Amino acid sequence: MTTTAGGAGRLLAISDLHIGYPENRALVEAMAPETDEDWLLVAGDVSENVADIRWALKTLASRFRKVVWVPGNHELWSHPSDPVSLRGVARYEHLVEVCRDLGVTTPEDPYPVWEGPGGPVVVAPLFLLYDYSFLPAGCATKAEGLAYAESTGIVCNDEYLLHPDPYPTREAWCRARVAETERRLAEIPGDLPVVPVNHYPLHRHPMDVLWHPEFAMWCGTGLTADWHRRFRVAAMVYGHLHIPRTTWQDGVRFEEVSVGYPREWRGRPQPPGRLRRILPAESAEPVKSANRAGTSGTSGESGTSTKSAKPAKSGGSGESAETEVR
């Protein structure tokens, strides 16, 4: 089906809503488009509770012309507070079905084409995970990296709650996702730029400002390090780090669009829950990729509920028509 997304809309993005926190749930309740043509990209970590994920996406899908969702690590957790106890691939597939019931686009659906201002561009929702390739300095293997992280007390709760079943490891699941996604991206017509949406950045440079650099192990994969160049990326949308800002790598714009936890966003000068405009671009001025300007002063934070060596609950409830490209 080929129709237009309209000429007045905006391509907007947000991530890391973490609506288990009442303050963040209130932000979602207040979110609204400015035009009937606005699309919203949701780059993961809505909640670790399936009922909450459904509520948030249903709320947003009722307001925006199109909602595009990708999973974060929190959605994939098999959290003890969630009555849905599915693990790994089965949990992800269940969430895809929830989204399809709501009319929300997922990484398993044809890629839509934004034909509004700044378009046409292919909007490519991705689900890639991570493979521990972003190791701490001085570490040569995953085992060494995990041992170092354990010694610092900075261990992602994924180690306890994000199960890769039926894959033997999270990195094996990551490699499978990368291979399939790479195939699909290569099939996009060569005259169309791409806006990839992934919970993790496609390149390591956004991790340069982490207060705890060992946490980069849970933040992506080196297998995608050249994708922003190979696949004609107009802007790369991600979350997870809780460091909302714009950076540039090889002339390509990277947009970190997370809300984060109330304890983080309360200290920021800008109001929380602001939807980031991806197209038409808010700014075309490149800045150095390691520039801390625009960060919240919480650059050690990440998209996990805790960074302790033990699992913990994360608060609250557990917490236009368009062209399609296959």
Q: Which residues contact 180 (CB under 8 A, 6 or more apart)?
A: none
Backbone angles phi, psi at 34, to 5 degrees: -95, -20
pLDDT value at position 7?
A: 59
Give all strands of the β-sheet with 252-256 in edge-to-edge order.
245-249, 252-256, 235-238, 194-197, 121-125, 111-114, 323-325
Q: Which CA distances in Å does 8 have to 11, 42, 98, 118, 235?
A: 10, 21, 30, 11, 20
Distance CA 216, CA 146 (A): 11
Share of the chain above pLDDT 90, in %: 82
Share of the chain above pLDDT 70, in %: 84
Distance CA 290, CA 311 (A): 31
Model pLDDT for residues 109-150, shown as the tens digit of each residue? 999 999 999 999 999 999 999 999 999 999 999 999 999 999
